[in-house]
Amino acid sequence: MKDNKLISMVDFVLDIDTYEETVYDDCMLIKEYANFLSAPLNIGMFVPAIKVGGEWEVLEEPKDYKRFKDSVIQEYTVLNDNGMLCEQYQTAKDNVIFEGFDSCELIGSILIIEFEAFELRFDTSCKIEMLINEPITLTKYGLEVIGLNR
């Protein structure tokens, strides 16, 4: 997968010999990619967010997050509310599969995603496959979800 970009299923299958060693592994990787492309889009794929009561809530970077992130020993932050917010934010940030997005908003069933100079609008029933032709890069976690970063 060049430059960690999404590619079509056809391109993925044609390029499969560069990923795995056995036919079984190739088939499993193809299946994982097909499942990935058919997953519905959600806010948590683009920006740190959590599901609260069945609805996505975008998380703001907590106070002292940079100190929490740079800390070698993060135990002191776990003892207070801000430390728990920092951990929650870090976990949500680690689960983002597309990198570089500035903001993401859900208005009704329309997902509005902003990235530098452009904006994407998708219905939440749309699948990841709809993003193949967009200039979107997968995170390290995104590659793990597909099965390419083991």
Read off the pLDDT of residues 17-70 as tens digits, 9 standing for 90 and up: 766 678 888 888 899 999 999 999 888 999 999 999 988 888 988 877 777 777
Is 119 inside any structural domain?
yes
Read off the pLDDT of residues 95-150 as tens digits, 9 standing for 90 and up: 999 998 878 788 888 888 888 777 888 887 889 999 998 888 999 999 888 877 65
Q: Select from 97, 6, 117, 86 the least CA-distant residue to 45.
A: 97
Is 23 inside any structural domain?
yes
Is 89 inside any structural domain?
no
Q: Determine the structural domain holding residue 125 and report its residue range.
A: 1-47+97-139
Is 42 inside any structural domain?
yes
What's the pLDDT score for residue 142? 92
Is 133 inside any structural domain?
yes
Provide the H-helix boundaries in the chain: 9-14, 23-37, 65-70, 75-78, 81-94, 140-146
Is 17 inside any structural domain?
yes
Is 132 inside any structural domain?
yes
What's the pLDDT score for residue 149? 67
Which residues make Cβ contacts (< 8 Å) with residue 12, sequence separation at least 6?
Answer: 1, 30, 33
- In degrees, to the nearest 5, what angle opens at C-alpha 35 toward C-alphas 20 and 18? 20
Read off the pLDDT of residues 74-108 as tens digits, 9 standing for 90 and up: 555 455 666 778 888 889 999 999 998 878 788 88
Is 8 inside any structural domain?
yes
The total number of structural domains that make up the chain = 1
Terminal C-alpha separation, the chain: 14
